[in-house]
Structure 1
Amino acid sequence: MTWLVTGGAGYIGAHVVRAFLADGMDVVVIDDLSSGKAEFLPAGVPFVQANLLDGAAVREALDGVSGVVHLAGFKYAGVSVDRPLHTYTQNVTAMVSLLEAMAEKEVRNIVFSSSAGVYGTPEDEVVTEQTQPDPQSPYGESKLVGEWLLRDQAKAVELRHTSLRYFNVVGSGDPSVYDASPYNLFPIVCDLLAQGKTPQIYGTDHPTPDGTSVKDYVHVADLARAHVAAARALEAGKPLERVYNLGSGTGTSVRQIMDAARRVTGIDFTPSEGPRRPGDPSRVVAAGDLAARDLEWKNSYTVDDMFATAWEAWPKG
């Protein structure tokens, strides 16, 4: 059983690759290295360096595979507002190219990397799969369109699929793989502390217990294992829901993360405080009950564990 992992040289993708290998499943990776890093790939993993818009390269990568984990895409929600056409090209047009190649090669299984971005700023105290999507960026919209593409293609051809809506993915399951995003909280804090600078909290007047925003953080190793479970279920023909939230059900505030960073690193700092950023929700927390039922999903790391693994992997030289 061999699966193609698109975007497999990225932070999340490299962890998914490792989870598949640890479970005894072979993988092939396709990645254009626009944000991924070749050094994140384990030695010996077959690798095709190409964008999914290159249909011939995609068809080549699909030779002999039984399913696809589709993670490749442009993942910066804020930047997508300024680059909507690029976002749709990389997240929608490229997915059409992938699905066309899958249909031609008769590959019938796909696990799609969707996003909590499809929900926008939900009013629900805890987001469930029944919460109405309301994306508020081209990125979130493109992920929702990706889910629609799977739904509609499955009506036209035999296609078993499920979409995993991620919340905030953090930490590291391998010290050689780290989150290099310039927009995510954990790498921002790690980078500032490694440089001897002080992290900042944006917004201390949220209607939350400590005044800072509360979001759902899940460890990347837990997330990767969910992909393996979904892939195995699809390959076995087991029924799966169309979408699953991968969230903790509780949430962690920005101040709690700062406190964890202080404990884990031993660096005594007091974060500076600034005004809220426009559009930053006060609370986004998701229930992971369906994923727990069908994918044996659980959030098995504490906030200290999450930050400790992120800090260990962060390049400090």
Structure 2
Amino acid sequence: MASSARRRREWVALGFIAPALLGMGVFFIFPLVMTVYYSFMAFSLSTPPHWNEYANWKYLFGGDPLIGQATLNTLWFVAILVPVRMVGALFVSWVLTRARRSSGVLRTVYYLPALIPPVASTIAFVFVLNPANGPVNVFLRRLGIEGPGWFTSETWSKPSLTFLGLWVLGDLMVIFLASLLDVPIEQYEAAELDGANGVQRFWNVTIPNMVPVLLFALITGVINALQYFTEPAVASATAQGKATVGAGTSGLLGWPGQSTLTYGQLLYQRAFGANLMGYASAMAVVLFAVTAAVIAVLLRQFRALTPEVAG
């Protein structure tokens, strides 16, 4: 009887999770398997696939002239954009916890830019940083400073996208603010009684309590940076005076001088511009593998740093 009841409970549980398992199989596992399969094929959307052995992989790791630049640019955004946004959001949220008056208004002001669609915010930011008549450079000229080219300069294009990321950090700010407000006040009081100053309380009380939230922000930030597409693509097109982002015109992507060409943009161009679906599948497999490896490393480090939380 006990065995029958247990089996019945297992079937009920399986019935409840069946829709999720079915969705995962149809929309994740099957596409992933087919992407790996197509990475060994040569085909386009208008022709049936045929086996071409390792040609796609050989071209990926030694033949594509843009893959190196796209990879370096993507790693730049992972190494710079993600930490800068996290530090900026943490600073803003910390300031808001100290605000006694108009804290609600300030929270709204900081969060509003995050509600703007990425395309609209990028276009607006490009116009604000227009080197000829943008408000920023006009203001700098009045101070006797010649502003940089921003999105028209190979040197300043990636930092300009980083400034854009700082402007729309409201999503991270809200999460960090909730985490800061959730830190037990008793721990601050105990640390203060032990003689800890403000910096010591921040590093020994605030940060340890925020580790899970910081890990979440880091993982999601790295994933988004590895797939960074919309903002650099729209910025490149807008800075050139183009109305659309065209996959068929590689010059639109990564302008100026391929300085903002990311891995995701190159994958998009190879798939829908050059119509190399098999090669794009190989690129997608590598992107998935790298993303999974990075997440695994971050989770392992998190467990090593905080075994009591991870357990």
Is TM-score (shorter-chain normalized) higher than 0.5?
no
Between the two structures, name the one with larger relative contact order (CA 8 Å, sep ≥ 6): 2
| TM-score (norm. length: structure 2) | 0.23
| TM-score (norm. length: structure 1) | 0.22
Compare CA radii of gyration and give the structure with the larger one: 2
